C-alpha cells in the first residue's frame, strides 16, 4: 500500500466516524517527519479519543502496524503517528488556536525544510 493509499484510508476512516473539517497537507517539501499531515476536528473529548483509537485499529487491519497515539491525557488534542502520515485530531477551539493549516500550508524552500 502506497503513501497516498494510506492517507486516503485515514481520511475515509475519519470521515466514516464523523470527524469534522478533514484536511490534508503535503509535507514532502516542508519536513522530513512525514509525507502528509491530516488534520481533523472532533466534537468532544470522547469523540477525539474514539477517533484516535478507531484509526489505529483500522490501520492495523490494513497492515499498518505500530501506530502510536500521543496526547492520551489531553481532552483537546490527539496525535496519531501513522509513520509517513501524522494525524492531528483537535477540539475545534484548540484547532483554531494552533492553526496548523496556516503554518504548514505555506511554501517552504527544500533547503529550509523543518526536521
Confidence of residue 111 (pLDDT cuts 50, 70, 90): low
Question: What is the per-residue pLDDT across 30-63, written as a single tens digit (0 to 9) for each?
Answer: 788 899 999 999 999 999 999 999 999 999 999 9
Do 85 and 37 contact (CB within 8 A), yes or no?
A: yes
31 DSSP β-pair partners:
114
Question: CA–CA separation, 114 vs 41, rounded Å?
Answer: 25
Domain ranges of the chain: 3-105
Give, in order, the Cα–Cα distances in Å from 61 to each of 37, 42, 97. 21, 23, 34
Q: CATH number for the 3-105 domain, one of 3.30.460.10, 3.20.20.100, 1.10.10.10, 1.10.510.10?
A: 3.30.460.10
What does the block give as the cell for 74?
489531553
Residue 113, Cβ density class (10 Å: 0-12 exposed, 13-18 middle, ≥19 buried): middle
Question: CA–CA separation, 51 vs 54, rounded Å?
Answer: 5
Question: What is the per-residue pLDDT across 72-97, written as a single tens digit (0 to 9) for each?
Answer: 899 999 999 998 999 999 998 888 87
Amino acid at each position: 500500500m502506497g503513501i497516498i493509499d494510506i492517507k486516503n484510508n485515514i481520511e475515509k476512516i475519519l470521515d466514516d466516524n464523523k470527524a469534522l473539517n478533514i484536511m490534508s497537507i503535503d509535507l514532502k517539501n516542508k519536513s522530513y517527519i512525514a509525507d502528509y499531515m491530516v488534520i481533523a476536528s472532533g466534537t468532544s473529548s470522547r469523540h477525539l479519543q474514539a477517533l484516535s483509537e478507531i484509526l489505529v485499529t483500522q490501520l492495523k487491519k490494513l497492515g499498518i502496524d505500530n501506530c502510536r497515539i500521543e496526547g492520551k491525557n489531553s481532552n483537546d488534542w490527539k496525535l496519531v503517528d501513522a509513520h509517513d502520515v501524522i494525524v492531528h485530531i483537535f477540539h475545534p477551539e484548540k484547532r483554531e488556536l494552533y492553526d496548523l493549516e496556516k503554518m504548514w500550508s505555506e511554501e517552504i524552500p527544500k533547503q529550509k525544510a523543518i526536521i
